[in-house]
Each structure stands twice: as C-alpha cells, then as structure tokens.
Amino acid sequence: MAAVFDIDLETEEGSEGDGEPELSPADADLDLRTAGLEPAGHYEEVELSEASVNQSPERIGPHCFELLRVLGKGGYGKVFQVRKVQGTNVGKIFAMKVLRKAKIMRNAKDTAHTRAERSILEAVRHPFIVELVYAFQTRGKLYLILECLSGGELFMQLEREGIFMEDTACFYLGEITLALGHLHSQGIIYRDLKPENIMLSSQGHIKLTDFGLCKESIHEGSVTHTFCGTIEYMAPEILTRSGHNRAVDWWSLGALMYDMLTGSPPFTAENRKKTIDKILRAKLALPAYLTPDARDLLKKFLKRNPSQRLGGGPGDVADVQKHPFFRHINWEDLLARQVDPPFRPCLQSEEDVSQFDTRFTRQTPVDSPDDMSLSDSANQAFLGFTYVAPSVLEGIKEGFSFQPKLRSPRRLNSSPRTPISPLKFSPFEGFRASAGPAESMELPPPPPPPPVSSAPLPIRTPTGKKSKKGRGRSGR
C-alpha cells in the first residue's frame, strides 16, 4: 500500500530552552540548503512503494543471466547453468532453476512446500548448506538462482569407490552432522537425508540440497506426522505415523553411514512393503570388518525408539559430536573448512559440467516463453518470493563453486529408491526424467508394479582414476 508523507522540518515543541542559540528563518533555510535539504514549505512528496523504498543495487530478472547449459529438466521446469551478465557478480556462474507456477498451483501441498523451501533457503546460512543467491518471478514462472557446486553428488563418489574407508566416511558424516545440527537449532528438520541430496563443492566439501521435505517450527517437544521421505532412509516413527521430531534425521544419518561403509542402506528388500517391514522389525546386521566405534555409533543411530536414539534427546547434535567415532575431529576446524577433504573433484573450469548427464548438457539451452500467467488472486500465493542475498547486497559474497543436480533416483539391485513425499521443490533434486508430482503412499502400501531398471547417469572419471564397481547397483 502506497502512502504520502509530508515531512515537516519545524522544531518540535518542548525544544526551547536547551541552550542552543536561536536561528533566524533565513539562517535556518541556509543551513538546510547547505545540508542538501529543502527548507520547510519547499518539501517533496515521496510515494512509499517497493520501487522507491526497497531499492536493491540491481533489479534482478531473467535478462540478467546468460543460459550456458541445460543441467536437467522435469515436469515442473528446467535447471540451467547460467552466467551473470548484468549488475553485481558479472561473469559468475550459477545454477538457475525455473518452475512453472501453473503446474505448482495444481496441488496445494506443492505450493506450500515451494514456499516453505524458499523461506528456509533464505533463512539458513551455513558452510554445508546450499546457498540461495537470488529468487525472482515473472507472471508465469518462479526462478531460483543458487550457488553452483560442480563436484557432483556424494552418491556418484560412492558409486566410484564402492564403499568408503571409515576415515573418509567420518569426514563426510562430520560435515553433515554440523549441517543437521544447525537446521535443528533453527527448529527445522530435514527428513530426506540420502546420498543423492548431498552435493560436493569444487573443493570437495559437502552441501545439503533439496529442502522440499523440511518441516519448520519443530522444537524440543514438538512433533509432526507427515509421511514423507525416501523409504530406505526413513525412520520407523515416520512409517508408523506415530509422530516424529528431529530424531528422524539421526536415524537417516545412521542409514547413510551404513550405506557408506557397506555399500547399501541397512534395510532393503525387493519391494517397498518388505523394506518397511524390515525397518520396523528386522535385526540390524553389522559386518565384522567395522571397528568397534563404528558398530557402536550405528547401533545408537538406528535405535527404533527415538527417545533412546543418539541425538534424540535434548542434547541433539552435541551428543552426536561426543561419540568416540568422531574423536579425531576438531569440530571448529571442520566448520571452518580447514580440514582437507578426502576427494577433490577434477574440474577444468568453473563452467565444467562433466558431473552432469550429457543427455541434458548437450541440449540447446532455451528458456521457453513465459506464455501462461496466473490471475492476480492466484499470484497471491507467491507474494514475497523475490529475494537478493545479503552477501550480494553488501558486495562481499564468498566465491563458492558450482552446484546443480539432476539425476534419476539411485537404484538397488533388489529395491528401487522410493521417494515418498509431497512435491520436492529443491535446488537441484526435484527434477527427474519423469514428469508429474511424486507419489504418495499409505501405510501399509500396496505392492507396486515391477519398476523399470534405471542405471545411474554417466559421470566422467577424474583423469588417472578408474571407476570401481561392486556397490551392488543395477544397470552398471
């Protein structure tokens, strides 16, 4: 709402007798003009509006970016590699995610999760969480400009190595622990931790992406009941819909740790129903080659009772950090990214897209015309979407490297990854080869039809290294 103010420069009542000498009207006018102000009676009317008050250093829009590559596409839009060509950060490479409003608006949950993720990305700043740099919209589309992480998915690194040695797993698990702890301190639970949602920067440090399933305002004592996530990493209390809180993230970290050290999540089967049965009832099998500290941490993460789970109590992340498995980690150095990563991506330049599927990167990058717009009332759902990161406003943005993501869900020999969720609107995860929203499933679910096997997308191996096989994935 616009308003017009008259700014009266006359002296306030009650200011007399303060010991200051009185100025004549002519002297006062002269002082005001010297200060660059108009004297009373010659004021300017200023309309207060977004254009006159919220004046950022630049007006951000699609015209500010040059399309370089297609990084992925799906039913809701595309992800591009782009270069900034106007304003601040000219020449810098970003990932631009474009979503069609009309498709999101078809489902109220999709709209709500879109808004929630956008809000979380703005609110959260952490070395191990993807950074939102800009957000803007046109009549028919939403645009997210995110930092670029050219190191690819942690999943692909797991594919190359087969399994991680414990010191390598400890590094990644430590950085993820700090990211989860920060989210929890903000009352946010993540709920979809898996290798596909963890990206690597050009330096080899992790970044959590895909915040479409996050839940806000979950503090100590609060619970929520949404059935969502990826089955193989979902905590039992989500599956039983008994109410869950931040302890679910520590279960998922345990499942991820097990995956890193053994080659697959702890509970898998030939279909979703049997996988759920195993998560709820099966005994945890631990390979003999794991060290006592690793075995103990896995047992404590994978407690079915969330109140007995490591991290499930009031101490949250602090209790996790104290475990002997992490005894060699200096947490302050790790947070400051002063610990050398075990793997550094082999990249030729900031524009290197060798970690992305060539089916997309070979396409001509074209952002389709904005030919469909919503009514004014429908557009109310996206009020406040526009955003410019404070670091950009201050002109001191850190030079992170590139990170978009678009791959098919990871596959096991016996059980396809089964994301269960409302729309997962994420910096890089949400675009898949198939169109349409993610499926929802009731518990217990009906057995699905046999899935079509999907091979992991190709990745260029760093020079001098040969990809290892043997993680038990199909289509290898």
The domain spanning residue 253 has which CATH number?
1.10.510.10
Measured CA distances, 82 to 63, 189, 398, 452 (Å): 11, 31, 18, 33
| Domain co-membership, 229 together with 282 | yes
Q: Is 174 annotated as a binding residue?
A: no
Q: Is 152 annotated as a binding residue?
A: no
Q: Is 76 annotated as a binding residue?
A: yes
Amino acid 29: pLDDT: 55
Residue 410 belongs to a domain with what CATH number?
Answer: 3.30.200.20
Q: Does residue 15 form part of some domain?
A: no
Amino acid 275: pLDDT: 95
Q: Does residue 452 form part of some domain?
A: no
Which of 235, 229, 230, 265 has the alpha carbon at shortest distance from 248?
235
Question: Catalytic residue positions?
Answer: 192
Structural domain ending residue among the three candidates 388, 420, 452? 420
Please report the sign of the dihedral spanned by the C-alpha atoms of residue 317, residue 319, residue 324, residue 327.
positive
Q: Does residue 293 form part of some domain?
A: yes
Q: Does residue 238 form part of some domain?
A: yes
Query: Is-contact 114 423, C-beta < 8 A?
Result: yes
Find all residues with CB under 8 Å of 380, minimum gap 6, and list them.
none
The reply to whether omega before 25 is within 30° of 0 (cis) is no
Q: Does residue 341 form part of some domain?
A: no
| Domain co-membership, 325 together with 186 | yes
Amino acid 400: pLDDT: 33
Q: Does residue 323 form part of some domain?
A: yes
Q: Is 43 annotated as a binding residue?
A: no
Helix axes 292-301, 247-262, angle to 10 degrees: 140
Of the chain, the end-to-end C-alpha distance in Å amounts to 59
| Domain co-membership, 134 together with 282 | no
Q: Is 77 annotated as a binding residue?
A: yes
Amino acid 114: pLDDT: 73
Amino acid 183: pLDDT: 96
Q: Is 97 annotated as a binding residue?
A: yes
| Domain co-membership, 187 together with 259 | yes
Instruction: Report pTM.
Output: 0.69
Mapped onto helix, strand or coil, the DSSP state of residue 100 is strand
| Domain co-membership, 185 together with 139 | no
Structural domain ending residue among the three candidates 335, 357, 390? 335
Distance in angstroms (rounded) separating the CA atoms of residues 279 and 374: 44
Distance in angstroms (rounded) separating the CA atoms of residues 321 and 175: 11
Query: Is-contact 443 239, C-beta < 8 A?
Result: yes
Residue with tokens 């905590």: 235
Average pLDDT per 10 consecutive residues for the chain, totaling 476 residues: 35 41 52 52 48 57 92 74 90 89 75 77 92 88 87 84 95 98 94 90 91 84 87 95 95 97 94 95 96 98 96 96 97 97 90 82 83 62 64 41 37 46 38 35 44 38 41 39
Q: Write out the DSSP string of 217-258.
A: S--TT--B----EEGGG--HHHHTTS-B-THHHHHHHHHHHH
Q: How far is CA 297 from the centre of its chain?
A: 26
| Domain co-membership, 161 together with 73 | no
Query: Is-contact 303 310, C-beta < 8 A?
Result: yes
| Domain co-membership, 178 together with 218 | yes
Find all residues with CB under 8 Å of 416, minimum gap 6, and list them.
409, 451, 454
- Environment class of residue 327 by beta-carbon count within 10 Å: exposed (0-12), middle (13-18) or buried (19+)? exposed
98 membership: H or E segment, kind and range? strand 93-100
| Domain co-membership, 254 together with 130 | no
Q: Is 273 annotated as a binding residue?
A: no
| Domain co-membership, 238 together with 126 | no
Amino acid 409: pLDDT: 41
Say how many domains are in the chain. 2
Show the domain range for 354: 62-150+348-420
Tokens at residue 53, please?
A: 């008050």
Q: Does residue 398 form part of some domain?
A: yes
| Domain co-membership, 383 together with 369 | yes
Which of 336, 399, 334, 343 has the alpha carbon at shortest distance from 204?
343
377-392 as b/e: b if 16+ CB within 10 A: eebebbeebbbbbeeb
Q: Is 78 annotated as a binding residue?
A: yes
Query: Is-contact 231 175, C-beta < 8 A?
Result: no
Q: Does residue 37 form part of some domain?
A: no
| Domain co-membership, 169 together with 97 | no
Whats the size of the chain, residue-wise? 476
Structural domain ending residue among the three candidates 420, 448, 469? 420
| Domain co-membership, 177 together with 313 | yes
Tokens at residue 251, please?
A: 């279960």
